[in-house]
Structure 1
Amino acid sequence: MQEPQIAAPSAPRSEDRPLLSGRPGWMKAAGRLRQNKKAMVGFWMVSVFILVAVFAKWIAPYDPLEQNMDMLLKPPSFHYLLGTDEYGRDILSRMMYGAQISLMIGIVGMLVSLILGMALGTISGYFGGAADMIIMRIMDILMAFPGFLLALAIVSVLGPGMTNLMIAIGIFSVPSFARICRSSVLSLNQKEFIEAAKSMGSGHMRIIFNHVLPNSLAPMIVLSSLRIATAILSASGLSFLGMGAQPPTPEWGMMLNTGREFLRSAPHISLIPGLAIMYVVLGFNLLGDGLRDALDPKMKL
């Protein structure tokens, strides 16, 4: 009589494994990112921007608020590498300090969107039912408005200023985070490890924080990098309209606005902030596209 053969347990399929489970997952994603030339260009562009913002206090040649009435509207020169503005202030120094403001707006706005969006998306996707319907209908209403107009309306109600600007930037990006997080949670609910955790008696909070949220990070990381660029661009647009940073704050969008009056006599006042905004937004978009490819397990570079 032959002994019954016991089949060896099959290895978990690649699509059932957490995307960034442990160190090997992160290392593979980092390897794919390094192989993406466009992503690395974006990475170095963003790195330069962050370094300038962090060390602006030490590398800026002048005080960004110091006025020199003898040096009004001077073009780029040896002493003023990017020229001076209508008050004789050094544009290079103002650009460096403006990088701090743009970085702060981008990060704070993204964090507000990320926290609120992941909370709402997780509740909607995990519990479903009436909570899902109510949350998603609210998100649909918010998405019916163009993001910039929604932010403009929020700032108009709250009033101009940096704090209100960051709140508005954060709120208008919440629907994107909520819907993507909900999609990830819905797909995770069908996975075997979630069903196993439920069958073992794990509570909802334990499952959400130990299993659902960690395995929903990949799309959130990609969207966060792209939304930082959107936040910086939207903040510059609102400041350009006078609804964001107020004078004499060295904010790029406001510098772009004040330079409109001198486009013929001193075009560098508007040209330089505009190029800086384009540089930063391009860098974050390239990095975000690279992260999307690197964190996609189906991508083969």
Structure 2
Amino acid sequence: MMWKRFKQVNIGLLAGCGILVCFCLVGLFAPWIAPHDPIAINLAARLQSSSWVYPFGTDHLGRCILSRIIFGVRISITSALIIMFFTMLISVPIALFTGYIRGRTDHFIMRIIDSTLAIPDIVLTIAIVGLLGPGLVNMLFAIVVVRWASYVRFIRSLVVKISQENYILSARMAGNTHFRILKRYILPQIGMPIMVFSALDMGKIVLNIAGLSFLGLGTQPPTPDWGAMLNDAIDYFQTSPHVMFFPGLSIVLFVLACQLVSEKLGKYDRTVDKEA
């Protein structure tokens, strides 16, 4: 029965994972795939439409849009993975401690999280980057500072629920240490929900990166970045719509793939829970 349920979500999951893998491979082999230098200026070829030489056309400086999108994959995915790593590094230990031990420390940390989540993510991120100054490192730092709170709240809710299960109480009565209970009984149970949440949030992070770069607060020229490419295309969108269409399509495709993976993993996780 579980295998039949999994087959129903398998096609969508494979499609989403396939798209994400393609993005990763494109970023990994960007120097060999890109047909042109992504920062090479050729004013004689500016704002050309799609052709065999420039499959996605050129921008206002004659740079190959396809090459810039390919190298932009590196910036977007690498930045998103860095943000995800440090966010997990901060939020998982805090959530495990506050959700399992509880007490005054839990109450204090949750009030800090409530204060952080009261402000819209993008507004707080822009404020932090504005104080620190534009740049890739400052942008990554700002997004981590903003996003850790939502992870702590989500993971903590999972830990609180699991900590009240009978088998956790039995493990305590059997003399298991708190560290052993967290490692052996709680962490394996929250792994899949965290994976589902992270897959969905990966798309949001890429959107934030593109949005900040679009505002000039992220990566700086001439570094190829999807959001910066959209910003460069504002003045030429009506006469040369391809300069905005292809970077925008790349962002949409990546976010949809993350959404698809998250949705199908969530369905599979609920199927496993019902079968169990």
Alignment TM-score > 0.5, same fold: yes
Cα displacement string for residues 242-286 of structure 1 (whole angstroms, at most 9, x for unaligned residues): 000100010000000011011122221111111111111011001
Aligned residue among 93, 109, 121 for 2:95: 121
Q: 2: CA distance between counterparts of 1:79 and 1:30?
A: 47
Q: Determine if the alignment matches structure 1 residue 264 to structure 2 residue 238.
A: yes
Q: 1:39 Cα shift?
A: 2.8
Aligned residue among 209, 217, 228 for 1:235: 209
Aligned residue among 202, 209, 212 for 2:186: 212
When normalised by structure 2's length, the TM-score is 0.92
Q: Write out aligned runs for 1:5-16 (5 A).
A: none
- Secondary structure at the residue paired with 1:62? coil
Q: 2: CA distance between counterparts of 1:195 and 1:139?
A: 28
Query: Structure 1 or 2: larger helix share?
Result: 2
Contact 2:9 2:267 in 1 (8 A): no
Quick one: structure 1 residues 299 and 40, their matched pair in 2 at CA, closer, same or farther if it must change by over 3 Å?
Answer: farther
Question: What one-letter code is carried by the residue in structure 2 that aligns with 1:77?
Answer: S
82-91 or 238-247: bigger deviation = 82-91
Contact 2:9 2:268 in 1 (8 A): no
Q: Write out aligned runs for 1:24-103 (5 A).
A: 32=6, 35-103=9-77
Aligned residue among 83, 86, 106 for 1:132: 106
Contact 2:35 2:67 in 1 (8 A): yes
Q: 2: CA distance between counterparts of 1:220 and 1:69?
A: 48
Quick one: structure 1 residues 268 and 113, their matched pair in 2 at CA, closer, same or farther if it must change by over 3 Å?
Answer: same
169-178 or 125-134: bigger deviation = 169-178
Quote the residue 1:142 is aligned against.
Answer: 116
Q: 2: CA distance between counterparts of 1:102 and 1:185?
A: 31
When normalised by structure 1's length, the TM-score is 0.85
- Alignment: residue pair count: 273
Larger-gyration structure (1/2) = 1
Quote the residue 1:22 is aligned against.
Answer: none
Q: Write out aligned runs for 1:142-161 (5 A).
A: 142-161=116-135
Q: 1:299 Cα shift?
A: 5.7
Aligned residue among 225, 236, 258 for 1:251: 225
Q: Mind listing any 5+ residue stretches in structure 1 that lack a counterpart?
A: 1-27
Quick one: structure 1 residues 94 and 144, their matched pair in 2 at CA, closer, same or farther if it must change by over 3 Å?
Answer: same
Q: Mind listing any 5+ residue stretches in structure 2 that lack a counterpart?
A: none
Quote the residue 2:264 is aligned against.
Answer: 290
Q: 1: CA distance between counterparts of 2:159 and 2:53?
A: 56
RMSD (Å) for aligned C-alpha atoms? 1.9
Q: 2: CA distance between counterparts of 1:60 and 1:30?
A: 41
- Secondary structure at the residue paired with 1:86? coil
Quote the residue 1:20 is aligned against.
Answer: none
- Secondary structure at the residue paired with 1:295? helix
Quick one: structure 1 residues 299 and 189, their matched pair in 2 at CA, closer, same or farther if it must change by over 3 Å?
Answer: closer
213-222 or 39-48: bigger deviation = 39-48
Aligned residue among 148, 168, 171 for 2:145: 171
Contact 1:34 1:40 in 2 (8 A): no
